[in-house]
Amino acid sequence: MRIATWNVNSLKARLEKVAWWVERTNPDVLLLQETKCTDEGAPRDALEKLGYELAHHGSGGRNGVAIASRTPLAEIETNFGEPLRKSAPGEAGDDEPLGEARMIAAVAGGVRVVSLYAPNGRTVGSPFYTAKLAWYDRLARWLAATRRPDEALVLGGDFNVAPGDADVWDARACHGGTHVSPEERSAFARLGAWGLVDAYRARNPDVRRYTWWDYRAGNFQKNMGMRIDHLLVSAPIAGRAVAVEIDREARKGRPIPSDHAPLTLDLDAPGKPFDAGWAGAEERIAARTKPRGGP
């Protein structure tokens, strides 16, 4: 079973890219974030043609989460089981942590999968940052109240947190900003304390590879990125994991890609082989950044 997560940065705009990637990697379950669709406007027919049932939670704007599955979905839950709240008049939306569509869960193939899109936080100390921490607190309380660490559980998505300094291109350059603040990292670590395992870091303890690169200033080519997309899994799922990979190739080429790369998790047996493109890229990056006159 292959489970993947991908912040597509507009599902309709990336449909051609999604179709290409599905053919390339053949995931059984695909967790999607930042779909930017309403439930009525989600491209269900297009996903059905690719072989997937789609469960979608979105209200338009810069939010929206979904689960696409090759097997039937059951026990669908959105927004931690609560209706979406309303933001204060005139506010941008992400000031209210439960006011945007950022969580959907379902059972697929005997595994409870959860697609998550954490608030960005914008600026440390801002109302949006406070809302981000409140959203993380709500996620932790939902886990404690409704889930068990010994069940088959996968939380995947754009968490908008780089858990450690190895998860950013330059810890000193990022210091003082969002995604790396002690409070955000503590909120993320709380999920691990509950019983979840960072599937990628568990199998790749030393690599410095990322899932997000800003579109600007050639940051992707320079590998100035962050690992902020994660698959957090319960112990039973961690014991079934045979491979975890970030597909760097999906961040390249045309049609215009998302600024995030998809992350795959294979359970029990390897899925369809694909070259994620890291070996060649890291050689090129090392050659470009090698000091002149060095050995």
- Annotate 161-185 with DSSP letters as a single string: ---SGGGBS-HHHHTTSTTSSHHHH
Q: Quick one: DSSP state of residue 260?
A: B
pLDDT at 295: 45
User: Measured between alpha carbons, how far is 214 from 4 in angstroms, rounded to an integer?
Assistant: 21
Homologous superfamily of 2-289 in CATH? Endonuclease/exonuclease/phosphatase (3.60.10.10)
Task: Please provide residue 181's backbone torsions phi and psi, each rounded to the nearest 5 degrees.
Answer: -70, 155
pLDDT score of 66 more than 90: yes
Lowest mean per-residue pLDDT among 198-207, 211-220, 280-289 = 280-289
- Higher-confidence residue of 95 and 199: namely 199
Query: Each residue of 107-123: pLDDT tens digit?
Result: 999 999 999 999 999 99
Radius of gyration of the chain (CA): 18
Q: Which of 52, 117, 129, 200 is catalytic?
A: 117
Tokens at 83, concatenated: 């209706």
pLDDT at 87: 64
pLDDT score of 294 more than 80: no
The residue to which tokens 């309380």 are assigned: 141
Task: Please provide residue 229's backbone torsions phi and psi, each rounded to the nearest 5 degrees.
Answer: -100, 130
Taking a C-beta distance cutoff of 8 angstroms, is the pair 269, 242 a contact? yes
Angle at 56 between CA 55 and CA 59, to 5 degrees: 165
Query: Each residue of 47-57: pLDDT tens digit?
Result: 999 999 999 99
Element holding 192 (H helix, E strand):
helix 182-194
Tell me if residue 117 is catalytic.
yes
Q: How far is CA 294 from CA 101, 192, 222, 282, 284, in A?
A: 51, 42, 19, 18, 16
How much is the pTM? 0.94
Query: Each residue of 83-140: pLDDT tens digit?
Result: 998 765 545 556 788 899 999 999 999 999 999 999 999 999 999 999 999 999 999 9
Tokens at 257, concatenated: 């890609």
In terms of Cα–Cα distance, which of 32, 26, 67 is closest to 270?
Answer: 26
Q: Which of 28, 52, 94, 158 is catalytic?
A: 158
pLDDT at 232: 99
Q: Is the peptide bond before 255 cis (omega within 30 degrees of 0)?
A: yes
One-letter amino acid of 10: S
